[in-house]
Amino acid sequence: MNRAATIALSPFSLLYGAAMKARAALYDRGIFHVQNVSVPVISIGNLTTGGTGKTPLVEWVANRLADAGHRVGVLTRGYGRTNPHQRVVVSDGSQILSDVESAGDEPLMLAESLLGKAAIICDMDRAAAAKWAIENLECDVLILDDGFQHLGLARDLDIVTIDATRPFANGWVLPAGMLREPISSLARAHCVVITRANGDDDGQLVQEIKKTTDAPILRSRTFISRVRLLNVESPVDIGKLRLTPVGAFCGLGNPDAFFQQLRADQMNVVHPVAFRDHQRYSQSDIDQLTDGSVVHGAEALITTTKDEVKLRSFCFRLPCYVVEIEIQIDEPQKLIEMLERAIKKTRA
């Protein structure tokens, strides 16, 4: 956003920021009701709009909890689905029960990646979804996906992700900036995970975070775990793919992070194309993308797992590869111990 637009929208941002502070205060004072449920709730969210690398962390936490013997349920709103007011059980943990239109792209992606590990439920009313998951799926721990601003459901551990590559954007809340609420809201966090961290380069960001919260700060980075062809489960040789010029495309909140990830892994990206977040693709989109990529010398296309779930029915004139991303936490045991303490506290 340019400076003129920021200045023009700044009065609205001041009002929005004040409203968010007032809302949090009303919950804190008990004027707005916070609902408690009978099992531990782990919230994983962020301060900004757009991608912060939150979803890989949701997967990481769900996998660790499942490996520890828990019946995990992930509660998500499900952006971009056809009926946002309807509860959709995307997965009961053992089978996929919905499609991308009913579930939305990220919930279906999570359901597939966590099959056998966690149930995925879409519902705008997270408290109602939590109670349903406990009663009907016997979940004994819940993950509140994108839950930092969802104050109506009590949580036992509040994790906030901050993208080191663009932590607070221009520092303004919506609509002049990308912040969902003022930076001071970090005081509610129990843990901050800096994503896409680059070693000592984030020292200034750490100091900025410490001005607001005493919560532990962990660093993480994402890496490409494997690459495969669209609609094919077996991986391909990444080394050979690096020799192929590719047209990269995605519909993410932070598309540059994906393109940078590819280049960091020495992929030969000759034509990057960013669609809007949660893009609903058409065959025309694919054809135009392919034509543009060919003009730039691409011999293949490459995209994300979030986009893949919306692309399976289309025809591609070039091979289309899908990149699977995982998160690596610098001090994973610290986060595991926080998860364990939250669970023990609830059961005490």
Task: Kindly indicate the confidence band of residue 346, based on its pLDDT and cuts at 50, 70 and 90.
Answer: low
Secondary structure (3-state) at 343:
helix
pLDDT of residue 199: 60
Q: Is the pTM of this model over 0.75?
A: yes
Mean pLDDT, residues 13-30: 93
**What's the fold here for domain 222-327?**
Rossmann fold (3.40.50)
Secondary structure (3-state) at 248:
strand
Task: Kindly indicate the confidence band of residue 89, based on its pLDDT and cuts at 50, 70 and 90.
Answer: very high
322 and 306 Cβ atoms separated by less than 8 Å: no
Mean pLDDT, residues 295-313: 97
Is pLDDT above 80 for 2? no
Q: Which residue(s) pair with 163 in the sheet? A: 195
* Identical topology for domains 3-221+328-347 and 222-327: yes
Before 182, cis peptide (omega within 30)? no
pLDDT of residue 347: 58
108 and 145 Cβ atoms separated by less than 8 Å: no
- Alpha-carbon distance of 252 to 72, in angstroms, equals 26
Secondary structure (3-state) at 228:
strand
Dihedral sign for Cα atoms in the order 281, 245, 231, 308: negative
190 and 218 Cβ atoms separated by less than 8 Å: no
**What's the fold here for domain 3-221+328-347?**
Rossmann fold (3.40.50)
Tens of pLDDT, residue by residue over 168-225, are 988 899 999 999 999 999 999 999 999 999 665 788 999 999 999 999 999 999 999 9
Tens of pLDDT, residue by residue over 105-134, are 999 999 999 999 999 999 999 999 999 999
Query: Would you state the structure tokens that stand for residue 219, as one six-digit string?
Result: 């660093």
Tens of pLDDT, residue by residue over 43-82, are 999 999 888 889 999 999 999 999 999 999 999 999 889 9
In the chain, where the domains are located: 3-221+328-347, 222-327
